[in-house]
A and B are shown apart, each in its own frame.
Chain A
Amino acid sequence: MSADEFDPMIERLFARTPQMADATLFAAEVETKLQSSTRVRTLALTLAGVVGGIIAVRESMNVNLNLTGSQAPVAGRVIGQGIQSASLDVQGAVASGLSQMGLADMTLGSMGGMQLFWITAGALIALAAAGVMKLSQDV
């Protein structure tokens, strides 16, 4: 047999493979590994998100912004006023939402602007962590 005839024959022989008896078991093992690696990744990303969020919150609380103080630079005062007005906006939006739901009596007045800021920040971190988790599952 010449090489020209033999090479295609070898390729055909390599291409022909028996279906192994434990093919289904092998596929199940691969699927299990895929599941567990996804779970590990999700857990790692969630942990990283939570740890990062905690560190970010802790660092933010340690910063004494005093942004509206008279000695703060102009830019700082502007940012501080922006945060305060945003907090008030959120407070107003929540209050109007509650009044529409018939919960107008529930007072938010005791909640200061900074408290609302931290609650919003916490909610955003939780949203970001959830988004990262969802992304990791999609990838």
Chain B
Amino acid sequence: MAKSLMDHHDVELAALAAAGGRREFGELVRRHGSAVRSLLRRMGAQGAEADDVAQDAFLQAFEKCAEFRGDGTFAAWVKRIAARLYLKRKAKDARYVAGIEPDQEEVTASPDQAGLVDLDEALKTLSETERLCVSLCHGAGLSHPEIAAAMNLPLGTVKSHVKRGLDKLRARLSPDSGQSGRATHVG
């Protein structure tokens, strides 16, 4: 009996997609679409924009599917593509000027109804650049030098942004911070 698409591992589906299998690629999109869209939102993209970039990232991933070797996870691979696409779009739109844009006024995360602050809310307390750097580093899995190259920022600046961003998140999310209680996220 033939395996259904849901029974296939990501690497198998990617190999079939590389041979032109659109249905197999559709299954990969169903599995990982939400993760990619969430990452883009965490990087600061708005709903429709995040979905547009995510779609473009998946289309690009389909074209490059033969390059996916299964060294990491498929989701991580597409996330990296999506993160770079988003940065390019920001640069193109000139809404983001590397290194000189003023930091946005910090937003105070508001606890949800249960009195808890989750990662998405906590990220809103970071400046735009800190948020991007932290998301690229911990969400898309880019190294500091890769982020520096992608954002056209000095390596030291990237490290500072990541550190400051993490400090703010730690203050917001640590169980002993007394402010957030604990981080919540639907698994």
Contact = CB atoms under 8 A, between A and B. Distances in A.
Most B CB atoms within 10 A — which of A13, A26, A28, A38? A13
B138 A1 contact: no
Given A13-B183, A16-B187, A18-B185, A1 B170 contact: yes
A71 interface: no
Interface in A53-71: none
Contact of A17 (B26, B38, B59): B38
A14 B51 contact: no
A18 B38 contact: yes
A26 B25 contact: no
B59 to A, nearest CB: 6
Contact of B138 (A14, A16, A28, A30): A14
Contacts of B54: 26
Interface string B9-41: 000000000011011011101100111011100
Interface in A14-34: 14, 16-20, 23-24, 26-31, 33-34
A18 B34 CA distance: 7
Nearest to B55: A30
A105 interface: no
B135 interface: yes
A6 B174 contact: yes
Contacts of B29: 26-27, 30-31
B166 interface: yes
A89 interface: no
Given A20-B34, A23-B33, A3 B55 contact: no
A10 interface: yes
A106 B128 CA distance: 80
B33 A14 contact: no
A37 interface: yes
Interface in B168-187: 169-170, 173-176, 183, 185-187
A139 interface: yes
A99 interface: no
B37 A26 contact: yes
B135 A3 contact: no
Given A18-B185, A20-B37, A138-B20, 16 more contacts: A1-B175, A6-B174, A13-B119, A13-B185, A17-B185, A18-B187, A20-B34, A23-B33, A24-B30, A27-B30, A27-B33, A30-B55, A31-B23, A31-B25, A34-B26, A139-B20
Interface of B: 19-20, 22-23, 25-27, 29-30, 33-35, 37-39, 42, 51, 54-55, 58-59, 62, 119, 134-135, 138-139, 166, 169-170, 173-176, 183, 185-187
